[in-house]
Amino acid sequence: MTKVKSLTEIRWHGRGGQGAVTSTELMAQAAISEGKYAQAFPSFGPERRGAPVQAFNRIDSQAPVKIRADITEPDIVVVLDPSLLEKVNVTSGLKKGGYVIINTRKTAKEIKSEFGIKYPVATVNANKIARETLGVLIVNTTMIGAVIKATGIVKKESVYAPLEKRFGRLGERNINAMETAYKEVVIEEQ
C-alpha cells in the first residue's frame, strides 16, 4: 500500500525586514485553524535589515510535525525578492515535483531561461500589488495569496483572522493584497 504524503515543506527566501518570518507564522496559524498541524520558524543569525534570510513552514494534514530542523529539501520555494535569484541558489534541494513561486514582473519562461531553473514556476508582481494596495513595498502578505493559489495548502479565508489579528486596522488592506495576488498569480503548467 502506498502511503499518501501529508507533509508539505515550504522554504521562504527574503531579505531582513521583508516579512518572510511573518508570512510563515500567518500560514501556520491558518493551517492550525483548519485542524492541520503546522510549524513556522526562521533561520538567520546576526543579519541586518536587507540581508538574505530564510523562513520555513511545515504543514501536515494528518500528524503532528516533530521535525525541528531547517528545510533543506523543500516541496515549495517562495522568493519574496527577485534580486535573490542572482545571489542565492533558491532551488537548492528542491524535491522532484517541487516548484518555485516568485515575486517578479517577468514571466516564468523568462525566469527559467535567465536563471536556469528547471522546476515549474509561478509568478506574481507582488511589488506592484503591495505598492498599490498597501502603499508600501512589503510583499509578505501579498505573496501568501500567490502561495495559497499555487499550492492549495490552506484556504485563503483561513488567513483572514490571522491577518486581522496581526495587522489590526491594516488587516483589510493586507487581505486585499493577498486576494489580488491570489487572482493575479500566473501558475506555469507542469
pLDDT per position as a tens digit, 83-99 = 999 999 999 999 998 98
Q: Is residue 1 part of a domain?
A: no
How confident is the model at residue 145, as a pLDDT? 97
Query: For residue 104, what are the domain limits?
Result: 7-184
Q: Quickly state the pLDDT bin for 30 (edges 50, 70, 90).
A: very high
Q: Is residue 66 part of a domain?
A: yes
**Contact in structure between 147 and 121 (CB atoms under 8 Å):** no
Angle between helical axes of 171-184 and 160-167 (0-180°, round to 10)? 140
Model-level pTM? 0.93
Q: Is residue 86 part of a domain?
A: yes
Q: Is residue 189 part of a domain?
A: no
Q: Which helix (H) or strand (E) holds 55?
A: strand 52-60
Task: Sort strands 121-124 and 99-103 into parallel, antiparallel or unpaired.
Answer: parallel
How confident is the model at residue 110, as a pLDDT? 96
Distance of CA 48 to the CA centre of its chain: 21
| For residue 48, pLDDT beyond 90 | no
**Count of domains for the chain:** 1
- Give the DSSP letter of residue 137: S
Q: Quickly state the pLDDT bin for 46 (edges 50, 70, 90).
A: low
State the CATH number of the domain containing residue 121.
3.40.920.10
Residue 29, C-alpha cell as written in the block = 496559524
Mean pLDDT score, 100-121: 95
Q: Is residue 52 part of a domain?
A: yes
Q: Quickly state the pLDDT bin for 2 (edges 50, 70, 90).
A: very low
C-alpha Rg value of the chain to the nearest Å: 15
Q: Alpha-carbon distance 117 to 142, whole Å?
A: 23
> Side by side, which strands form the sheet with 7-15?
37-43, 52-60, 7-15, 76-79, 99-103, 121-124, 186-187
| For residue 3, pLDDT beyond 50 | no
Q: Is residue 2 part of a domain?
A: no
Identify the three-state secondary structure at position 104: coil
pLDDT tens-digit profile of 56-76? 999 999 999 998 889 999 999
| For residue 49, pLDDT beyond 80 | no
Q: Please list, in sequence order, all residues whose beta carbon lies within 8 angstroms of the beta carbon of residue 40, skipping any fewer than 6 positions away.
A: 21, 24, 25, 27, 28, 55, 56, 57
**Contact in structure between 20 and 87 (CB atoms under 8 Å):** no
**Mean pLDDT of the chain, nearest integer:** 92
pLDDT tens-digit profile of 135-162? 998 999 999 999 999 999 999 999 999 9
**Contact in structure between 16 and 81 (CB atoms under 8 Å):** no
Q: Quickly state the pLDDT bin for 129 (edges 50, 70, 90).
A: very high
Q: Is residue 25 part of a domain?
A: yes
Q: Is residue 88 part of a domain?
A: yes
